[in-house]
Amino acid sequence: MLTLVLLVVLLALVFEYINGFHDTANSIATVVATKVLSPTQAIGMAASMNLIGALAGTAVAKTIASGLIDAQVVEVTSQVLICTLSGAIVWNLITWYFGLPSSSSHALIGGLCGAALGASQTNWSSIIWSIPADPWWKGGGVLWKVIVPMVSSPVAGFIMGFLVMGLLFAVIAAMAMHRGWLGRLARPRWVNGFFGKAQIASAGYMGFAHGMNDAQKTMGIIALALVSAQSAGTLDNLPGWLAFLHPSPEALAHGDIDTWIKFVCALTMAAGTAAGGWRIIRTMGHKMVKLHPIHGFAAETSAATVITLASSLGIPVSTTHNISSAIMGVGSAKRLNAVKWSVVERMIWAWVLTLPAAGGVAYLMIELFRVLGWT
């Protein structure tokens, strides 16, 4: 039914909107916390850089659309995608309410896997678990595209944040040993002034990386819904004003993402950012570790580099996990007790629970649909 397809698109945009005030808040938290940019300025930058990042590639979208669920085992219907998005949205709202920066990416993936399991009568083969390859990052399936990056990317973010911050500390300490103009540049006023400007660039880089990875996930869901609907003949008699829903030949042949999907997803995410990200900005930028511009620069540069690399490989990593771990690494470079580990513990629990919680909600919704005869 066309109505169900439109409902999938609507729910996908609702998810993207929630992703905006849930995940994009993470990407701008440091630049707001250090007072380099006001929330309004940071949101404007995030919106524009998200859009550019979203248009920069489609590797992650292709992974979501075709790399996790085996279409030979389970048919990815509109009902499956509705339950997928519902599971992700419910979990995102719960964690947003409590101010926990959990991963929208993993909520979406968990929802997709849970819905597929429910639709296939708990046939575990409906999920593509592993497609080994050499090197490992070219592998496919949940193991190589979700589980391994879920562990390795935060570790990489932490290590990189620690090393970048340590390097900056070493450079400033070396400069401070000089008596002349070089020594004056190492004074806190000059350091804060320089990195206050540099952090604008790193925040833009972070926004770009976020758009390049996170915005693509919802694009993949919408593309999957439209391609499935086209194959089923649901879009055969569309009215003229809905003709844009027809997937392009490139989308059908190669899994490309149509341009209108990219723009709509990026703009919806930006609108969500403006709506209510302050709860998570406060946790990320204030509660976990006290940040100055130099810390924000190091954290954003580290996290954005990890995310951009993952995006180029088609790996859907979590912006939340990476910026959080980078902030931890930066704080640890200063001293271990600079990080408020009790807050970190709450965040890690939210991370661990995201995949099964969102998947569980989606699975139960599929079962409810089956009882009601809606499948």
Convert the pLDDT of each residue in 166-187 to its tens digit. Answer: 999 999 988 888 877 778 888 8
The percent of the chain in helix, strand and coil, each rounded to the nearest 5, is: 80, 0, 20
Q: What is the pLDDT of residues 111-170, one digit of tens each?
A: 999 999 999 999 999 999 998 888 777 788 889 888 888 889 888 999 999 999 999 999
Number of domains comprising the chain: 1
**Average pLDDT rounded to a whole number, residues 280-291:** 54
DSSP string computed for 196-231: HHHHHHHHHHHHHHHHHHHHHHHHHHHHHHHHHHHH
- Which three-class secondary structure state does DSSP give residue 69? strand
Q: What percent of the chain has pLDDT over 90?
A: 22
Task: Identify the pLDDT of residue 233.
Answer: 85
The 10s digit of each residue's pLDDT in 52-93 is 887 787 788 878 877 888 888 988 888 999 999 999 888 878
Q: Could you give the angle at which helices 293-312 and 148-176 cross, rounded to 10 degrees? A: 140
Local confidence band at 285 (pLDDT 50, 70, 90 cut-offs): very low
Q: Flag whether pLDDT at 266 surpasses 60.
A: yes
Confirm if 55 and 262 have CB atoms less than 8 A apart: yes
What integer pLDDT is reported at residue 10 of this predicted model? 93
Query: How far is residue 149 from each of residues 116, 157, 216, 306, 310, measured CA to CA in Å?
Result: 22, 11, 17, 11, 8
Domain that holds residue 232: 2-129+137-372
pLDDT digit string, tens, across residues 292-321: 888 889 999 999 999 999 998 888 888 878
> For 215-256, what is each residue's pLDDT tens digit?
788 888 998 889 888 888 888 888 888 888 888 887 777 767
For 8-33, what is each residue's pLDDT tens digit? 999 999 888 877 776 666 667 777 77
Banded pLDDT at 333 (limits 50, 70, 90) = confident
Q: Which residues of 9-44 are buried (b: 16+ CB within 10 A; e: fewer)?
A: bebbbbbbbbbbbbbbbbbbbbbbbbebbebeebbb
Q: How far apart are CA 321 and CA 115, in angstroms?
A: 24
Pair of tokens at residue 89: 């949205």
Residue 74 backbone zone (phi > 0: left; psi -120 to 50: alpha; other: beta): beta
